[in-house]
Amino acid sequence: MYRIIRNNIIEFSGITIIVLALLLLSFSTSFTLSFEIPSSLLNLNTIFLSILIEALPFVLIGVLIAGVIQIFVTEEHIQRWIPKNKVLAIITSCIIGALFPACECGIVPIVRRLIGKGVPIPAAIGFMLTGPLINPIVIASTYMAFGNDFKIAGLRMGLGFFVALVVALVVGTIFKGNQLKSSIVTNSSSTFTKNESFLTKFWSMLTHSIDEFFDMGKYLVMGAFLAAFVQTYLPAKALLEAGSGTISSLAVMMGLAYVLSLCSEADAFIGASFRNIFPTSAILGFLIFGPMMDLKNTLMMLSVFRMRFVIGVLALIISVIFITIMSVQSFI
């Protein structure tokens, strides 16, 4: 275990040097430099650090919960809590996710440990999709962002729950097994017995959480940097001009949600700023798709799940959201 943590720290240290360099670049703008730094690089630096600072607290919460699941939750607990019926298991997981205040940044390590403990893949996907999207904090922020109007918050909650159910059901039909990478499956089991003391288990929980943080953290950093790079150099004006029709506006807003990689607790305020530019259906696409899957979250999932599975889930989410919103857009 300590060797694994040491190796993760070594891998993480290289990325940490890059982060420190970007922090130094931020502070250096206050002083006189012998050369001029391009404004685009400064903008990239600002966006990257803002995404990272926003996401890290939720990742820390996520890895701590993952550590608790790894040590204190047994396979027997999972078997008692999850219904045997596949449909009921998916519905139960979606309801639990809707009540669970998790951000998309911290949900991946939690789902990784749940699957390792025996949670069926469709139930885990249902939990992963509803957790960041329709938990109480997100719904409250959406309600406030849109001027204390429950319409958008209610539509986000209802349509999001429906999309999560459909995607989880289809995933359960198409994909078999836990879809974790082979190395993840090998390291997912706990070696502790019931006779271990609470302090021993607590220390092991912290050890697992540290290992999880360094394991997931490097992908978060890379994903945040990639999202910042795209935001800096992708011509946003051209995207906005492309969204002139109902279908194109929905596609543009879903694309922006994926690229911007906003935290689900704050994305409603960004979505509300587009109300005078795009129709309500496009705003809902932005609010539903972003928390379910974005650029940094995709990279974190690729570190845990098989590539074919991640691409399949991404395609399913896009398709179901697009079809659902286009089907009801005349009523909203």
Q: State the pLDDT at residue 188.
A: 52
3, burial (CB in 10 Å: exposed 0-12, middle 13-18, buried 19+):
exposed
For residue 24, being part of any structural domain is answered with no
**Which of left, alpha, beta for 148 (phi over 0: left; psi -120 to 50: alpha)?**
left
Adjacent-strand bridge partners of 180: 305
Pull the structure tokens for residue 105.
Answer: 């940044």
Query: Residue 270 has what pLDDT?
Result: 83
User: 100 in a domain, yes or no?
Assistant: yes
Give the Cα separation of 319 and 277 in Å (integer).
24
On whether residue 27 sits in a domain, the answer given is: no
Pair 116, 189: CB distance under 8 Å: yes
- Give how many domains the chain has, as a whole number: 1
Q: Does residue 213 lie within any of the structural domains?
A: yes
Collect all residues with Cβ–Cβ distance below 8 Å to 234 and sequence separation of at least 6.
Answer: 259
pLDDT tens digit sequence for 122-143? 999 999 999 889 888 889 889 9
Nearest to 209 by CA among 74, 70, 81: 70
End-to-end Cα separation, the chain, in angstroms = 53
Closest CA to 218 of 294, 304, 300, 148: 300
User: Is 42 part of any domain?
Assistant: no
pTM: 0.77
pLDDT in tens, 173-221: 999 888 888 655 555 555 455 567 778 888 888 887 887 787 777 777 7
Give the whole-angstrom CA distance, residue 33 versus residue 324.
53
Structure tokens at 130: 């509803």
Q: Give pLDDT, residue 80.
A: 79
- 165, two tokens: 């159910």
Range of the domain at 297: 2-16+54-331
Asked whether residue 25 is assigned to any structural domain, the reply reads no
Q: Which residues of the chain have pLDDT under 70?
A: 1-37, 182-195, 235-244
pLDDT score recorded for residue 183 = 58
Domain assignment present for 48:
no
State residue 63's pLDDT score. 80
Kindly state whether residue 218 falls inside one of the protein's structural domains: yes
Phi, psi torsion values for 174, nearest 5 degrees: -85, -45
The DSSP 8-state label assigned to residue 189 in this structure reads S
320, 167 in Cβ contact below 8 A?
yes
Q: Which of 324, 291, 297, 323 is nearest to 310 (CA)?
A: 297
Residue bearing tokens 């704050």:
266
